[in-house]
Amino acid sequence: MAQSSFTRTLFFYYLHVISYDFIFGYAIFPAYFQLKGVSPEVIGALLAFWAGCIILFEIPAGLLGDMIDRRRLLVLSPLVKGACFVIWIFADGHVSLYFLGIAFWSLASALRSGTKEALLYEHVAVHAQEARYTAILGKERAFQDGATLAGAALGGLIASQNLELAFWASLAPLGICALAACFLTDMRVTPRQSAHVSLKQAPALLRSTWGEYFAKADVRHVTLYVAICVTFLSTLEDFNQLFLLAIKMPVWSIGITMALMGLARLALGYHAGKFEHFAALNWLAPMICGGALLVSGFLAPVFALCALAIAYILVAPLMVLTMSRFQKALDGANRATTTSVMSALIEGLSVVYNIAIALLFSHLTVLKTYQVAGAYLLLVAIWELTRKRPAVPLVNVA
């Protein structure tokens, strides 16, 4: 009976994850703004505003996830994201409405980031399925990436007929996402878990979160590792199309190349759980990525492409394994808040990395900038390899 309940929960959880990112509007975002007459400078400001809002909303949203029924937030999140698209449809070139829509999307992301991870892990813990947790995260990541790729591919066809139709059509999967969340359960309402906390306990939750970072070396280290390694790799990939142009790839081949690399990363992320026992991956992955990018500028185009693909694909298991380790290191009633603190840090550093990479582009070529990124990743690998080991394994084995 317990296994059946857990299988049912996973089904609706995966459905929620897939439908949240099966968005046809991704195919034209943010090109949609430019096609509506918004200047590139304002588009850059919109994207910066997006990240800034996520940082602003993350921790308050995490507190909400620890104080009220998490299912309610997971139902609300896709509806708020849908509101963003509706605002953009009727914005008709009014920049202020594009900013308002971005704020709604940022809020939607913040409402589910820490809440979703907390709800899943508590289901895993209550049903004694910790041994499967990393594999579950791997599948979740693969489903999310697959949904994003499929939505963008189909969205391109829809947008070629009508730009707004791509956003209208995106409301359907978001409705399914909200409906799927209705069938999830916040385990804290059961006798086996503590009840929700009140608003008056918000300061105590923040103190508890702060204390958890100070008391647990593994939480601190995973957060730092994600910040300086995983987030950097994730930010760098936003510029991969510029790299492909720099190695003289035809424009028509860029989309195909990115899709093929995306499928390869999807497959590796799906099987990330198989690497859970391989602790050396924490330093080996940035070393391989860094070495590949460092030499990429000296290679023929086909080999430079392979070097880029290595760095793009290897980040998949790192994303899964670090989140698994982070969640396993937490306890107490502030799981959503602590996860949101980590998410806010990731978003903040992503902005910093974007600015740093843009500054490098202003002084160096694209290929040389990627070589500098490779050297940075080698330093991260050396730091991870030589750091003093904690008492627990680098990657937990359930």
Top mean-pLDDT range of 142-146, 256-260, 388-392 = 142-146
What are the tens digits of pLDDT across the range 172-205?
Answer: 999 999 999 999 988 875 434 444 555 555 565 5
Distance, in Å, from the CA atom of 346 to the CA atom of 224, rounded to the nearest integer, reads: 10
The mean pLDDT value for 230-240 works out to 87
* Residue (of 187, 175, 170) closest to 15 by Cα position: 175
What are the tens digits of pLDDT across the range 361-381?
Answer: 888 998 999 999 999 999 999
The mean pLDDT value for 7-34 works out to 89
Provide the pLDDT confidence category of residue 156 given band limits of 50, 70 and 90: confident
Which is higher by pLDDT, 329 or 106?
A: 106
Distance, in Å, from the CA atom of 341 to the CA atom of 350, rounded to the nearest integer, reads: 14
Which is higher by pLDDT, 238 or 300?
A: 300
In 3-state terms the chain splits into helix, strand, coil percentages (rounded to 5) of 85, 0, 15
DSSP assigned state of 38: -
Provide the pLDDT confidence category of residue 398 given band limits of 50, 70 and 90: very low
| Residue whose entry in the numeric block shows the structure tokens 């989140």 | 323
Task: Tell whether pTM > 0.85.
Answer: no
pLDDT for 189: 58
For 207-216, 278-287, 298-307, 314-323, which range has the lowest pLDDT when averaged over its residues? Answer: 207-216
- DSSP string of 264-303? HHHHHHHTGGGGTT-TTHHHHHHHHHHHHHHHHTTS-HHH
| C-alpha count within 13 angstroms, C-beta hemisphere, residue 262 | 19
- Would you say residue 93 has pLDDT above 60? yes
